[in-house]
């Protein structure tokens, strides 16, 4: 049973990769690591291509250790990880489409991000009496992102759901190549708009890791405030939206009010409702003043007095509970296998939160709980988010009380380096890996959204549920299309 | 639940809450919008939103138009589920190669007369995604656009102003 550091030790360590080690490994070690992930001893956290090289990020959740394994593929081929460990399959399909590297023996030969010139996509089949198909998307009925869902149903019961994604592919990783850091930060913030702060933070932390640099303490706390405001806004909005998908519009209306108040407070403090262009490598470019702190204080007080009645409303409405309890159950084993992050994992017994397990400042100095449940249904996912709203409020108060004085940004040296970061967004762990050239430009940047390990699980969760419960299941996952498609 | 319903009856609606500066602006807009919408379209304008490659920030802010603070339905602006029911297509994103066909089809499925509003910086010219080989670089490259609403993303009030401008141009 080689542990993560044993695998790394057998490889050739690459200097200048921070904060976790990176090693060039042989094809045998590569497959050994894939087998460790398949056996559940390591968690696959990312798999991406580079010039003639593939990289695989692995986590040892118990010890909080992380590492990147790199394999050279001079012939443009590498042994498939997905062959042993299914969570890697879509990553490998995307890698083949975007980088032209071939995962040998990958179980799924179909393209993923590259939709080609209108060639028909071979959906998986389902056979049996009385089955019919329902095709939904890419343009949906609501104000949501584009993606295609192919349901095969027996009457009302879903027998198989297959997702087809890639509609929002904007080529962000290619745009990153050769970009200056400012442009890179802007692009990162626009990977998935609902996670603007999480991506800006992850990008900044990856750059800071590469340059071996720590931002001023005040900047760390202001980043924390922004991250928790973003979490609050998304959780509040989504709790209401999930109820709305069960036709309980009253909850949606009230939660929408609270979400709007969070966005207005963010606008008042930092000058942008979604806090865009606030976090940059080296610190933050928007400081918070006394008036801003007063706004936040009032916001926390407001939500504290408003939200409990909404929670009670959710809990005491039998017709709503009838829709959410036992609907869309994600089994804990699947959540573990896929390393599902965020509320999706935590509602199914995977109590992983980067803020706790691989703590980064300011969270290493703050007190908070990481709520976790094992029911894995829509109701459990709602409850995790309710609990996280409460935790975020407490975190905001703690950060305001401890907010250090001083500068908020430091200047960056111009040098080469490799850095990686893991940041807990509202949806789960965002991974960013990058390499900076001598000229200070981005040579390669990979951004992995938590949705990569959540989308496939939605297909499993809906099986045996009725078609009408799909919106509920989908909203309770709330995976990002844009974050996934890049 | 009863408590909430009773409170809803007795409390004043948020949309008429004492005006902060931007709320006053909203009220003035509402009056103009209502008059314009009535004049041109009878009583309502049906909007179909199409994400053609946005990062979803524009969607979040367009969603906010429906919350109790902005409540656009009171102006007769309504988001509909199908382009067949729409007068206006509200399009976001730089138009990715992979969404081009879907956008064209949605446009063709919308009955005449129809208007197209491009929302957000990247819908105008690709924004920060301009130059990517897999995006078309703006909505007007694919379908005729009547009005552009800049912003990244435009706040709800800006989108509302844009729709008003459109109504006055119709």
**Mean pLDDT by groups of 10 residues along chain B of 170 residues:** 81 54 58 63 81 95 92 86 93 95 95 93 94 93 93 92 78
Contact A467, A153 (CB under 8 A): yes
Residue B18 lies in a domain: no
| Nearest residue on chain B to A193, alpha-carbon basis | B57
What residue numbers bound the domain in which B69 lies? 46-169
What stretches of A246-378 adopt beta strand conformation (E)? 279-280, 283-284
A171 shares contact with chain B (CB less than 8 Å): yes
Q: Do A256 and B67 touch (CB under 8 A)?
A: yes
Residue B53 lies in a domain: yes
A12-24 burial, b at 16+ Cβ within 10 Å, e below that, comes to: eeeeebbbbbbbe
* Six token digits for residue A192: 């998935």
Contacts of B63 in chain A (CB under 8 A): 143, 237
The span from the CA of B40 to the CA of B113, in Å, is 12
Residue range A167-180, pLDDT digits in tens: 999 999 999 999 99
The span from the CA of A185 to the CA of A147, in Å, is 26
Residue range A281-324, pLDDT digits in tens: 999 999 999 999 999 999 999 999 999 999 999 999 999 999 99
The alpha carbon of residue B56 is apart from the nearest alpha carbon of chain A, in Å, by: 5
Contacts of B56 in chain A (CB under 8 A): 145, 192-194, 480-482
Per DSSP, what are the bridge partners of residue B46?
Answer: B78
The alpha carbon of residue B63 is apart from the nearest alpha carbon of chain A, in Å, by: 7
Contacts of B128 in chain A (CB under 8 A): 175, 183, 186-187, 190
Close Cβ partners of A455 (under 8 Å, ≥ 6 residues apart): A90, A163, A165, A477, A479, A484
A168 shares contact with chain B (CB less than 8 Å): yes
Q: Distance of alpha carbon A185 from its chain centroid, rounded?
A: 17
Residue range A206-237, pLDDT digits in tens: 999 999 999 999 999 999 999 999 999 999 99
Q: What is the mean pLDDT of chain A?
A: 94
Share of chain A above pLDDT 70, in %: 99
Residue B82 lies in a domain: yes
Residue B20 lies in a domain: no
Kindly state the greatest CA–CA separation across chain A.
70
- Closest in A146, A175, A481 to B102, CB measured: A146
Residue B58 lies in a domain: yes
Q: Do B4 and A143 touch (CB under 8 A)?
A: no
Local mean pLDDT, 10-residue blocks, chain A (486 residues): 78 90 93 93 94 93 90 93 95 93 93 84 88 91 92 94 95 94 95 96 96 95 97 97 93 94 96 96 94 96 94 94 94 95 95 93 94 95 97 97 95 91 96 94 96 96 93 95 94
Task: Supply the CATH number for residue B153's domain.
Answer: 3.40.50.12280
Q: What is the pLDDT of residue A2?
A: 61
Residue B94 lies in a domain: yes
Q: Which of residues 97-116 of A touch B (CB under 8 A)?
A: 115
| Nearest residue on chain B to A312, alpha-carbon basis | B1
Q: Do B59 and A145 touch (CB under 8 A)?
A: yes
DSSP string, A99-113: H--EEET-S--S-SS
Q: What is the pLDDT of residue B26?
A: 62
Residue range A122-161, pLDDT digits in tens: 999 888 888 999 999 899 888 999 999 999 999 999 999 9
Residue B2 lies in a domain: no
Contact A69, A11 (CB under 8 A): yes
Residue range A71-85, pLDDT digits in tens: 999 899 999 999 999
Share of chain A above pLDDT 90, in %: 89
Q: What is the pLDDT of residue B39?
A: 64
Residue B84 lies in a domain: yes
* Six token digits for residue B74: 């009171």
- Any long-range contacts for B11-16 (C-beta under 8 Å, 24+ apart)? B13/B68, B14/A257, B14/B68, B14/B69, B15/B68, B15/B69, B15/B70, B15/B71, B15/B74
In degrees to the nearest 10, what's the CA dihedral of B49, B55, B61, B62? Answer: 0
Q: State the pairing for strand pair A12-13/A283-284.
A: unpaired
Contacts of A191 in chain B (CB under 8 A): 55
Contact B109, B81 (CB under 8 A): no
Which of B150, B166, B158 shows the shortest CA–CA distance to B26?
B158
The span from the CA of A286 to the CA of A264, in Å, is 16
Contact A441, A180 (CB under 8 A): yes
Q: Structural domain tally of chain B?
A: 1
The span from the CA of A211 to the CA of A411, in Å, is 11
Q: What is the pLDDT of residue B10?
A: 82
- Closest in A187, A194, A313 to B1, CB measured: A313
Count of pairs with CB atoms under 8 A, one residue in A, one in B: 132
Q: Do B56 and A191 touch (CB under 8 A)?
A: no
What is the model's pTM? 0.93
């Amino acid at each position: 049973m080689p542990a993560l550091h044993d695998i790394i030790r057998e490889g050739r360590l690459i200097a200048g990769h921070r904060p976790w080690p990176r090693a060039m490994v042989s094809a045998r070690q590569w497959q050994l690591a894939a087998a460790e992930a398949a056996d559940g001893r390591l968690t696959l956290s990312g798999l991406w291509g580079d010039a003639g090289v593939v990289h695989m990020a692995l986590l040892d959740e118990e010890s909080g250790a992380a590492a990147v394994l790199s394999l050279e593929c001079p012939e443009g081929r590498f042994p498939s990880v997905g062959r042993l460990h299914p969570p890697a399959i879509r990553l490998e399909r995307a890698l083949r489409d975007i980088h032209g590297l071939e995962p040998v023996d990958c179980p799924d030969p179909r393209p993923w991000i590259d939709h080609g010139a209108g060639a028909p996509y071979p959906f998986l089949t389902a056979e049996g009496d009385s089955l019919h198909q329902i095709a939904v998307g890419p343009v949906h009925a609501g104000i949501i992102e584009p993606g295609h869902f192919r349901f095969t149903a027996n009457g009302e019961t879903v027998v198989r759901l297959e997702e087809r994604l890639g509609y929002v592919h904007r080529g962000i990783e290619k745009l990153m190549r050769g970009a200056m850091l400012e442009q890179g930060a802007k692009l990162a913030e626009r990977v998935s708009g609902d996670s603007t702060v999480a991506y800006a933070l992850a990008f900044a932390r990856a750059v800071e890791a590469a340059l071996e640099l720590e931002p001023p303490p005040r900047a760390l706390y202001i980043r924390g405030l922004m991250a928790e405001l973003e979490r609050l806004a998304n959780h509040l909005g989504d709790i209401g939206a999930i109820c709305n998908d069960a036709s309980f519009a009253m909850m949606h209306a009230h939660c929408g009010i609270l979400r709007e108040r969070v966005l207005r407070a963010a606008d008042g403090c930092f000058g942008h409702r979604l806090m865009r262009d606030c976090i940059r490598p080296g610190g933050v470019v928007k400081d918070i003043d006394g008036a801003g702190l007063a706004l936040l204080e009032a916001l926390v007080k407001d939500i504290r007095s408003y939200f409990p009645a909404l929670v009670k409303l959710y809990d005491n409405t039998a017709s709503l509970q009838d829709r959410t309890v036992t609907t869309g159950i994600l089994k804990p084993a699947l959540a573990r296998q896929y390393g599902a992050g965020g509320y999706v994992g935590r509602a199914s017994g995977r109590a992983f939160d980067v803020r706790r397990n691989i703590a980064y400042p300011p969270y290493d100095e703050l007190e908070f709980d990481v709520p976790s449940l094992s029911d894995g249904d829509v109701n459990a996912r709602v409850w995790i988010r309710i609990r996280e709203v409460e935790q975020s409020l407490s975190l905001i108060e703690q950060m305001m009380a401890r907010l250090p004085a001083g500068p908020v940004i430091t200047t960056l040296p111009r040098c080469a380096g490799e850095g990686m970061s893991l940041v807990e967004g509202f949806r789960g762990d965002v991974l960013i890996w990058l390499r900076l050239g001598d000229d200070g430009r981005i040579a390669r940047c990979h951004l992995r959204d938590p949705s990569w390990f959540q989308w496939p699980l939605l297909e499993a969760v809906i099986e045996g549920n009725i078609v009408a419960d799909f919106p509920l299941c989908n909203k309770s996952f709330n995976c990002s299309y844009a974050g996934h498609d890049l | 639940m009863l408590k909430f319903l009773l409170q809803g009856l007795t409390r004043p609606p948020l949309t008429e809450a004492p005006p902060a500066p931007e709320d006053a602006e909203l009220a003035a807009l509402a009056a103009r919008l209502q008059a314009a919408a009535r004049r041109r379209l009878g009583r309502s304008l049906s909007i179909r939103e199409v994400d053609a490659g946005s990062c979803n920030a524009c969607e979040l802010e367009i969603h906010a138009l429906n919350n109790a603070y902005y409540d656009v339905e009171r102006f007769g602006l309504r988001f509909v589920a199908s382009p067949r029911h729409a007068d206006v297509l509200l399009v976001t994103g730089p138009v990715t190669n992979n969404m081009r066909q879907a956008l064209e089809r949605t446009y063709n499925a919308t009955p005449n007369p129809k208007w197209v509003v491009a929302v957000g910086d990247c819908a105008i010219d690709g924004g920060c995604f301009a130059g990517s080989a897999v995006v078309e670089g703006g909505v007007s490259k694919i379908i005729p656009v009547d009005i552009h609403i800049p912003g990244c993303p435009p706040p709800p009030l800006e989108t509302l102003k844009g729709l008003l401008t459109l109504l006055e141009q119709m």
